Amino acid sequence: MFNNLSDKLDKALHVLKGHGSITEVNVAETLKEVRRALLDADVNFKIAKEFTNKVKEKALGQNVLTTLQPGQLMVKIVKDELTELMGGDAEGINLSGTPSIILMSGLQGSGKTTFSGKLANYLKNKKTKKPLLVACDVYRPAAIDQLHVVGDQIGVEVFSDRGNTDPVAISKAGIAHAKANGHNVVIIDTAGRLAVDEVMMTEISNIHKAIQPQETLFVVDSMTGQDAVNTAKTFNDVLNFDGVILTKLDGDTRGGAAISIKSVVNKPIKFIGTGEKMEAIDVFYPSRMADRILGMGDVVSLVERAQEQFDEEEARKLQKKIAKNQFGFDDFLKQIQQIKKMGNMKDLMGMIPGVGKMMKDVDIDDDAFKGIEAIIHSMTPNERSNPSIINSSRKIRIGKGSGTSVQQVNQLLKQFTQMSKMMKMMQGGGGKKVMQMMKGMN
């Protein structure tokens, strides 16, 4: 996420490291590189210039504390200004109304239909709502089918009227269906176009007037950069939408849209899409995003994702098993499944401070656990419960069954044994022993 921008800002801010004080000369040199990094990320030139002027004004107006280096102070100022530029505080979604009506808008290919499903899944699981998805894209082939597939995947009902070509009538009928069947949120997926045109804008405007939604959200493909910002302005002039959704942030995103869009349309970014899975949706926190752009990680989001997968009852059972030395490969497999649900591995690693920079050139496969899972699934239930019975002949069979080598099976067994010992020691408060053990493993 924003790797190129992060690298360039890091190099720009590195200019001040080693300097004893902030001067007009070294600030100008640093901010020249910062402005260049923002322009390369497809941030609007005017916004980039205003941003660096604000940073310069603050930097030259502050005395450096004795505990801070000039470089550290500049990083803090840049972080604060980036946070402010992207919206300052996180904005929630308006769920007033019975039912709450959410209208999705945007260009074709921006990820509207998929995100409608993600939003429905988010509201169902995290806000305990009963959403209804309404298919109002009457032009794109298989658009209605796509929404039905998404609805089935997440267990959310989809309303559609295949014989009707009037999206206004479909949206009204969808809301009536929601009221009659106890749905408290209606998400209306509208048609997109390849470019902004008068017919499209008139249609979305008519839907908006007819249904009076509590939330109108504009979906943006974050990989389109400055073009997305210009499109957002056109839509906002017609719809006066309430917030922006940034999709495909897990891709090769330069970051221009995320940084510029609030400034141009004066509407907050409310959610971001960070992957293809239905769970890959996050509330947009400007301060956390600024941290990630500057390579500081995002520990809070990482902890929140971990907590979402945490099951207190399962944790208690696991503790008892560890205490009785009964932790087996079935338990290990459950832990892997929980980690996988948290998101793609590279994104998770990028949330750990300092690790993002180290991992930028490392390609982490989303199927990194596949080999481990294959080995475990090739074991018998008895072997998974009692790994100590796995002898040479069993290792050969497991290796053949999983498409791996005996060496890989041995490696997993060794790592599993070490991990089990550590978990047992941690339960007994043996922190020092764990540290000694880890040194011995290096």
250 in a known ligand binding site: yes
Instruction: Name residue, tokens 């949120």.
Output: 185
Instruction: Name residue, tokens 């979604």.
Output: 93
| Helix, strand, coil abundance in the chain, percent, nearest 5 | 60, 10, 30
21 in a known ligand binding site: no
- The letter for the amino acid at 161 is D
Sequence-separated (6 or more) residues with CB below 8 Å from residue 373 = 333, 336
What b/e readout covers 375-396, taking b as 16+ CB neighbours within 10 angstroms?
bbebbeeebbeebeebeeeebe
Q: What 3-state class would DSSP assign to 317?
A: helix
Name the strand (E) or helix (H) holding 185: strand 185-190
CA distance 194 to 408: 49
13 in a known ligand binding site: no
Instruction: Name residue, tokens 């922190």.
Output: 431
Q: What 3-state class would DSSP assign to 29?
A: helix
108 in a known ligand binding site: yes
Judge residue 89's burial from the number of C-beta atoms within 10 Å of its C-beta, 0-12 exposed, 13-18 middle, 19 or more buried.
Answer: exposed
Q: Are 113 and 153 in contact (CB under 8 A)?
A: no
Q: What 3-state class would DSSP assign to 283?
A: strand
112 in a known ligand binding site: yes
248 in a known ligand binding site: yes
List of E strands, 261-396: 269-273, 281-283
CA distance 176 to 18: 66
Q: What 3-state class would DSSP assign to 103?
A: strand
119 in a known ligand binding site: no
56 in a known ligand binding site: no
- The letter for the amino acid at 134 is V
What does each C-alpha distance from 138 to 133, 191, 210, 287, 301 come to in angstroms? 15, 7, 17, 39, 38
Look up residue 376 and give its two tokens: 């475990």
Look up residue 347 and give its two tokens: 């994104």
151 in a known ligand binding site: no
Instruction: Name residue, tokens 């998101």.
Output: 343
- The verdict on whether omega for the bond into residue 99 sits within 30 degrees of 0, i.e. cis, is yes
191 in a known ligand binding site: yes
CA distance 419 to 415: 6
52 in a known ligand binding site: no
249 in a known ligand binding site: yes
371 in a known ligand binding site: no
CA distance 283 to 382: 43
370 in a known ligand binding site: no
Q: Are 180 and 143 in contact (CB under 8 A)?
A: no
HSE of 418, CA atoms in CB hemisphere, 13 A: 15
190 in a known ligand binding site: yes
Q: Which residues are annotated as a binding site for GTP?
A: 106-113, 189-193, 247-250
Summarize the annotated binding site as residue ranges: 106-113, 189-193, 247-250
